[in-house]
């Protein structure tokens, strides 16, 4: 049986390395084509790597927690099919170009994965079901917190009797300190934030909007059985304001000192997950109706939290929104731009606050908005006009 070394493939979207989260096989075990080999965490998502060959595992070349560069050895397999082992396919389907002559996979027909709702009343994606199986969690006993009661990765990890696999490893210290090796998503976040504050001269403006109409519209939809969170309304309002001020949907080309105004409005949605902050992208948001924005954004958020989104759904944003009031009574904040974008919009918690209406101080539902913009592209006056337009869109929402 010829031994073949499978190297970490190119996972696409310019990713150069991944952290090995966990092996699903062990040395000496038998593995079939397309059977899961391991879980790796990239800068954008957790990815399951399938086996390129059928055979026996000879050597695992990395340990959980280690960072593996694209093209480095991942696993050596004694293949049972000599013809299959000698084949030189070029692409790992779904992950981008091969990383070298040994990185591709000759694919066999795959059995369709079960639908998320295929087991009784349990609603969970296949990735979440596998995670529950690995951790010994009975999904029937888990209450889902995702859209429609779906069970997410976070739900499984919270119900797990053993600690969840972290995206970083900690080293004990004798002096009471604890050092954490930063890899994967957390490392990518750190690099992106340093790039943002180091290369983008950004400033922030703030405003408060009257959410009376928004909340009334939500109640009307809820009464008709079409309940919707505030986020889709926020996204739709941002899209309309961007149409009026397209420069907010741009980036700075540092190599040529040019402003690139983007045509589609691809809205990044900041999502807090167990792996850290992820920003899935709602592509072509300017072409979507409100109900479609709600459906697609909910799917993206669930996928980000479950770790099932492919890398191409985590890139290509042109403007980002973050709902900082979604998890608590946060009024506002100073958001940091997600490079290479020009603008990020943060929404605070909607709650009763004093407002002056017709000369009288009354309690009205309202929330803070803050925008951070690239001062190379946008001056204060334009930022103010954009923020004013955004407030107007939010205050005139109707069913």
CA dihedral sign, ordered 55, 61, 63, 68: negative
Six-digit token string for 178: 């604890």
* Nearest partner of 69 among 27, 19, 28, 35, judged by Cα: 19
Residue 236 and residue 287: Cα distance in Å, rounded? 10
For CA atoms 80, 84, 90, 96, give the dihedral sign.
negative
Angle (CA) 185-136-308 rounded to 5° is: 35
Q: Give residues with Cβ within 8 angstroms of 291, minimum separation 6.
A: 226, 228, 232
- Which residue among 375, 384, 388, 395 is the active-site one? 375
245: alpha, beta or left? (left if phi > 0; alpha if psi -120 to 50):
beta
CA distance linking residue 370 with residue 356, whole number of Å: 21
Are 88 and 25 in contact by the 8 Å Cβ rule? The answer is no
The residues that bridge with 314 in the sheet, in sequence order, are none
Buried b (16+ CB within 10 A) or exposed e, 163-184: eebebbbeeeeeeeeeeeebbb
Is residue 375 part of the annotated active site? The answer reads: yes
Ranges of beta strands (E only) in 107-193 are 168-171, 179-182
Q: Which residues are catalytic?
A: 375
């Amino acid at each position: 049986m010829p031994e073949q070394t499978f190297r970490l493939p190119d996972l696409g979207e310019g990713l150069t390395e991944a952290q090995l989260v966990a092996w699903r096989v062990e040395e000496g075990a038998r593995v079939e084509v397309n059977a899961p080999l391991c879980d790796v965490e990239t800068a954008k998502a957790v990815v399951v790597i399938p086996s390129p060959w059928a055979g026996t595992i000879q050597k695992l070349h990395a340990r959980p927690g280690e960072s593996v560069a694209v093209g480095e050895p991942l696993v050596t397999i004694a293949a049972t099919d000599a013809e299959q082992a000698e084949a030189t396919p070029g692409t790992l389907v779904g992950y981008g170009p091969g990383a070298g002559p040994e990185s591709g996979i000759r694919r066999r027909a795959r059995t369709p994965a079960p639908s998320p709702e295929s087991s009784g009343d349990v609603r969970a994606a296949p990735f979440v079901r596998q995670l529950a199986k690995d951790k010994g969690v009975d999904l029937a006993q888990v209450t889902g917190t995702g859209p429609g009661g779906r069970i997410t990765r976070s739900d499984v990890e919270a119900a797990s009797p053993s600690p969840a696999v972290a995206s970083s490893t900690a080293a004990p210290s004798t002096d009471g300190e604890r050092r954490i090796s930063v890899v994967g998503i957390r490392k990518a976040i750190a690099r992106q934030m340093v790039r943002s504050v180091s290369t983008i001269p950004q400033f922030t403006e703030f405003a408060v909007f009257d959410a009376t109409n928004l909340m009334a519209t939500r109640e009307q939809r809820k009464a008709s059985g079409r309940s919707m969170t505030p986020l889709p309304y926020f996204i739709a309002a941002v899209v309309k304001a961007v149409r009026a001020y397209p420069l907010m949907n741009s980036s700075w080309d540092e190599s040529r000192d040019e402003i690139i105004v983007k045509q589609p409005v691809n809205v990044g949605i900041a999502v807090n997950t167990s792996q850290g902050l992820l920003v899935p992208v709602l592509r072509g948001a300017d072409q979507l109706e409100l109900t479609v924005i709600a459906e697609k954004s909910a799917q993206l958020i669930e996928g980000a939290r479950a770790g099932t989104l492919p890398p191409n759904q985590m890139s290509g944003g042109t403007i980002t929104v973050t709902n900082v009031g979604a998890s608590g009574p946060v009024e506002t904040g100073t958001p940091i731009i997600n490079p290479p974008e020009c603008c990020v919009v943060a929404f605070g918690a909607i709650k009763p606050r004093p407002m002056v209406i017709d000369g009288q101080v009354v309690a009205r539902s309202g929330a803070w908005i803050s925008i951070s913009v690239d001062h190379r592209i946008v001056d204060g006056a334009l930022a103010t006009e954009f923020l004013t337009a955004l407030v107007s869109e939010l205050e005139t929402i109707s069913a």
